[in-house]
Structure 1
Amino acid sequence: MMLATVFGLTAPASAQPAGAGATAWATAWAASAHGPYPVGNPSAQPNQSFTFPEPQQGARDQTFRLVLRPSLWGRQARLRFTNAFGTQPLRIDGAHVGLQLGGAALVPGSNAPVRFGGQEGVTIPPGGQAWSDPVDLAFAADPDSPLLMGRKLAVSFHVADRSGPMTWHAKALQTSYLTAPGAGAQGQDEGEAAFPFSTTSWFFLDALDMMAPAGTPVILCFGDSITDGTASTLNGDDRWPDVLERRLKAAMGNRVAVINAGIGGNQVVGPAEYGPDKPFPGGPSALSRLDRDIASLSGIRTVIWLEGTNDFSRNGNASLEAVQDGMRQGVQRLREAIPGVRLVGATVTPALGSTSPAHGHAEQDEKRRGLNDFIRTSGLFDAVVDFDTATRDPASGGLKPEMVPESTMGGPGDKLHPNRAGYLAMAMSIRPADVLPTR
């Protein structure tokens, strides 16, 4: 197989589609929905009592301006909104998408209206979702321009009336903006005066597609808080999937996407039941979200699965055999749902000695080591990335000392979640050839 090498990275030539010819939708960003607000595990969350004074009633006649960083750029985009954990119909209108200037302000002239079946708004039933129509991005006329790399979109939309329980992704580690309740539709406004309040979570929006050359590889990182980015830098985009993306883009430019489908607290096999009336901070099990968060997304070619530590915590109490069987089931279902998908197993990072009450005990570590042996030797996966070796201190069996102090607020760390240094080491330990599709 011929290889293309740029900046010291090696990528299969077959993973680099030609710049002209057929195009297709490719996932450029996602945020796995895990439950109804406020149940979840946010990080660095500002006081939300002014924006959502009655949490169970949700949003009321107000506009969200969610900030997100696409992993891929195209001349056209489309958005997926979700009411997965709502208990009443959700009415969204006045949606726009523009290029963030700074804070809640947009680059003048970049804000474009979003339609749904040609209409200004859409009503999403409880448990449902809705894709927008394609939106032309005038500022992305040249999607391969290096000046777009790292730039962020602002997706604005108005929630009419009361939303009821809000479907959200708690741990965005990205600041977004909101109007006050009753402020009405403000999405067309490119300024920031109408958006005085901030949040570090994403609400209702769970996927963004870009039109890209057909065959553009989309690599999805599936897992828990260590993929979601707990203890990484707020607004720093230094989770391990972010670092992996930048490594691949150094070689391939705007011809690859890396998507984060982590949920803080997520488990492979638990909880047994989940729903709006029975939520759990870690969201539904990995097995129960395979379709929504992987198979239903556009262009997924590779899945990197890092999970298991929460199953072995005092919150999960799962057996090693149950998690191994869950991974077997998940791999089989993904291969059936996405023919030719490349599945990569990631060894679980250490938590021995964690200050978190549910983590750090010897039994958890014994099961973790057993799961890592399974991931390395079972042959279940097409490749293995060894995050355990990249982060474990041989002397203590826990995280390396320099990876403990958390990077979000400068705290001491919990010896469970790697900091920026840990996530950097994890991503740098990945061989691109292991995660890029081979066909």
Structure 2
Amino acid sequence: MSGRLARGGRVVAALLAAVACQTAPARAAGPPPDSTTHATGVVTWAASADLMGEGTAGQGYRLIVHTSVGGSDLRVRFTNAFGDRPLTLAGVHAGLRETGAALRPGSNRPVTFGKVPTVTVPAGAVAWSDPLPGRWPAGADLVVSLRTPDAAGPASGHWMAMQTSYTGGGDHTAEESGAAWTRTTGSWWYLDAVSVRPADRATGAVVALGDSITDGWQSTTDLNRRWPDYLARRLGALGTPVRGVANEGISGNKILADGAGQSALHRLDRDVLSQPGVRTLFLFESVNDIKAHTGVTAADLAAGYREIARRAHAAGMCVVAATIGPFKGWPEWDPAAEAVRQDVNRFLRGSGDFDAVTDFDRILRSPYDPTRILPFLDGGDHLHPNDKGMQALADAVGTGSLDCGR
């Protein structure tokens, strides 16, 4: 195994060098105010940005996201990561949801950027809002409303939210009623992170970097039953130092190659290292690299895992890796892919590159056929866990492993 890993490391050396040298997209306008470029507090929610198609001028969005850790001084981050021109956002408000598109009375408040009500985000950039005073609870539905007065060209956002949000025309972002928000969307547009300042300054966060299993596919829509959601509730109930949970899963994502979103290697800086208050990276990826049948070997993947761990460690973060679950019965499974999965899992269990390893494979596999998901935990497609499977994954995470003391 070790000889093959060494040879594979050389195979992907050029790829990793390219990642390290990758340049950001050209920025077509001056930067937002300085105060919008600096992260503070602890991330309480996040979703990885991807290319969303064309932006719509004059569109309103009422986006529903679920917080993990509570605190004061709420800030929201907007992304134009895949835009090819500046993006102006106006009428931004944040409040707490009552039901549907309606807000809790008295909670909807205007959000500013450098003390002004609009912000223009350059192509390829992100912008944080000013802190919004007051206390914001853990485990709550936060509502972020915004308008895109002149949006055009490629939009950025997260397409598979597993959460119903709302859209509408006109200027209704300040209204707490949901009457004007007559259309729905299953995506989060432009919003990619929220932070708060917890009362306990020792509080930190974990970022789950993953694919569709982390993104929540086959969990129940609108009920926050992705495995990172279950983990957030568990951490909150235990009162552990790490209580913020950021879900940076993208359906179809890979470690080594772009495709369904930028690869884990390419998006690591934006989705993990730039998030505020992150104590730990939880890495659960690579089934898509394997089942794509592109010739990727366990050695190639080991080199990618090691590069991610190296960069996260250099940023002072703990790194927890999870083994790859079984997927026999999925159309792309075959014995060759299974052999790579087993080799990668042996590497993960035996490598000294991580601060801890969580054995998701052991949790999910059937005792009668370890290449298959236990039927009780199978979402129906033999790759993605159902709600019970998602909870089982969250329960398997050792809470002590999320705070390794780096």
**Counterpart among 328, 333, 348 of residue 375 in structure 1:** 348
Alpha-carbon offset, residue 315 of structure 1: 6.2
1:241 aligns with 2:257: no
**TM-score, normalised via structure 2 length:** 0.87
Q: Per-residue displacement from partner, 1:134-178 (whole Å, max 9, x unpaired)? A: 1123xx2xx5xxxx4422110000100233221011111111110
**Which consecutive residues of structure 2, in runs of 5 or more, have no partner in the other structure?**
1-39
Which is further off, 289-298 or 426-435? 426-435
Alpha-carbon offset, residue 35 of structure 1: 1.9
**Counterpart among 134, 158, 169 of residue 169 in structure 1:** 158
Conserved 8 A contact 1:360-1:416: no
SS state at 2:290 partner: coil
Question: Which residue of 2 is the match for residue 193 of structure 1?
Answer: 179
**Counterpart among 262, 265, 279 of residue 252 in structure 2:** 265
| Structure 1 residue identity aligned to 2:330 | S
Question: Which residue of 1 is the match for residue 399 of structure 2?
Answer: 432
- 2:243, 2:44 → 1: CA distance? 9
- 1:315, 1:160 → 2: CA distance? 44
Question: Which residue of 1 is the match for residue 362 of structure 2?
Answer: 389
Question: Which residue of 1 is the match for residue 216 of structure 2?
Answer: 229
Conserved 8 A contact 1:91-1:163: no
- Structure holding more helix per residue: 2
Alpha-carbon offset, residue 436 of structure 1: 2.9
- Percent identity, aligned pairs only? 39
SS state at 1:257 partner: strand
**Which consecutive residues of structure 1, in runs of 5 or more, have no partner in the other structure?**
1-23, 38-55, 272-279, 407-412
**TM-score, normalised via structure 1 length:** 0.80
After TM superposition, list the pairs within 5 Å mapping 1:38-57 onto structure 2: 56=54
| Structure 2 residue identity aligned to 1:326 | G
- 1:316, 1:176 → 2: CA distance? 36
Question: Which residue of 2 is the match for residue 400 of structure 1?
Answer: 374
After TM superposition, list the pairs within 5 Å mapping 1:83-122 onto structure 2: 83-122=80-119
Alpha-carbon offset, residue 289 of structure 1: 0.8
| Structure 1 residue identity aligned to 2:235 | L
Instruction: Quickly say closer, same or farther: Cα 1:215–1:372, change in 2 above 3 A.
Output: same
Question: Which residue of 1 is the match for residue 43 of structure 2?
Answer: 27
Conserved 8 A contact 2:49-2:81: yes
- 1:129, 1:434 → 2: CA distance? 31
Q: Per-residue displacement from partner, 1:84-107 (whole Å, max 9, x unpaired)? A: 111221110100001100110001
Conserved 8 A contact 1:34-1:169: yes
| Structure 1 residue identity aligned to 2:159 | A
- 1:209, 1:325 → 2: CA distance? 32
- 2:311, 2:382 → 1: CA distance? 33
SS state at 1:79 partner: strand
**Count of residues paired in the alignment:** 365
| Structure 2 residue identity aligned to 1:235 | D
After TM superposition, list the pairs within 5 Å mapping 1:353-364 onto structure 2: 353-355=329-331, 359-364=332-337
- 1:135, 1:383 → 2: CA distance? 36
